[in-house]
A = this chain, B = another copy of it.
């Protein structure tokens, strides 16, 4: 299979569509694909999913950051989502034929390059963090653009690269490495949002629940249902099925049912295939048995009796 790096850059513009398109179009690079993007006007923020050859992804991220730095002014930016910079967060996710160590090394290089190119403070977070506290993005972003100016000079808040002061308009950027995240929501047959909030608190890692699960309870406007909205930040530690059953059991204990669930955006095949294998009690199943995934293999391999084929 070819090496593939994923990134999900978040930038601080979700209202001016022309600006959003301008920034995303800057990612146009041979070898990089924009798989998905969404803008949220309340958050005043956009999230893009790009995948490609590692070098192509870094080139696209450098170009997007340059556009974001020149087009977004944090001094006038308002939105409901926490943020500290024009290009706010850039996670690198090793996808195919890449290790987390490789993604961490690329994050380090990208952080250094962005800092040098724009005289911008850049923090390393997640698996790329150089300080334990910075594994958690919310700690890096504490105080946001407005509050960070006063504390960025403190030793524990200094960036990994770039100056120990905010960029006047573009603030600061966090570059990190992480595993793939699955956004997974389970809907409950009750309009009582207190039930959803209680279940979310009970099952999330921060409440002593399931490892690698973040969860909040939400009302669903115009519907008689409520939602436990989860981020599974490591589906190998807590799978979709384990998270689903935890919500369903907690709901049953509260006398309500599960009406449906949904995956928001994209999910890695492995996260779903594991559920199929579990439901069918498949023994010895591998993703190499999925026809379409075999089609992703390097075209350069000899077409005849390549390594992937085998006598049985």
Which residues of A are interface residues toward B (Cβ below 8 A)? 4, 6, 17, 21, 24-25, 27-30, 32-39, 51, 95-96, 180, 240-241, 244, 258-263, 265-269, 272-273, 275-285, 289-297, 299, 302-306, 308-312
The 16 sampled A-B contact pairs (Cβ below 8 Å) are: A6-B291, A27-B303, A28-B303, A28-B304, A34-B306, A35-B309, A36-B310, A244-B280, A244-B281, A261-B280, A262-B282, A262-B283, A263-B285, A267-B290, A272-B277, A292-B293
Asked if A296 meets B295 with Cβ closer than 8 Å, knowing A25-B304, A269-B269, the reply is: yes
Contact, CB under 8 Å: A279 / B289: no
Contact, CB under 8 Å: B241 / A279: yes
Residues of B within 8 A of A262 (CB): 282-285
Complex Cα–Cα for A208 and B240 (A): 36
Complex Cα–Cα for A104 and B81 (A): 54
Which of the residues B33, B291, B302, B308 comes within 8 Å of A303, measured between beta carbons?
A: B33
Contact, CB under 8 Å: A291 / B309: no
Contact, CB under 8 Å: B275 / A261: no
Asked if A295 meets B51 with Cβ closer than 8 Å, knowing A28-B302, A309-B34, the reply is: yes
Residues of B within 8 A of A17 (CB): 311
Complex Cα–Cα for A296 and B33 (A): 11
Contact, CB under 8 Å: A295 / B37: no
**Which residue of the partner chain B has the closest CB to A37?**
B309
Contact, CB under 8 Å: A289 / B260: no
Using A262-B283, A267-B289 as known contacts, list a sample of 4 further A-B pairs with CB atoms less than 8 Å apart, ordered by residue number in A: A34-B309, A272-B290, A275-B275, A276-B276
User: Which 8 residue pairs across A and B have the least CB separation, nearest first?
Assistant: A38-B312, A260-B283, A275-B276, A279-B279, A272-B276, A28-B304, A276-B276, A25-B304
Complex Cα–Cα for A279 and B6 (A): 27
Complex Cα–Cα for A25 and B305 (A): 7
**Which residue of the partner chain B has the closest CB to A286?**
B263
Complex Cα–Cα for A299 and B56 (A): 14
Contact, CB under 8 Å: A4 / B37: no
**Which residue of the partner chain B has the closest CB to A31?**
B303
Contact, CB under 8 Å: B269 / A293: yes
Complex Cα–Cα for A294 and B6 (A): 12
Residues of B within 8 A of A293 (CB): 269, 292
**Which residue of the partner chain B has the closest CB to A14?**
B311
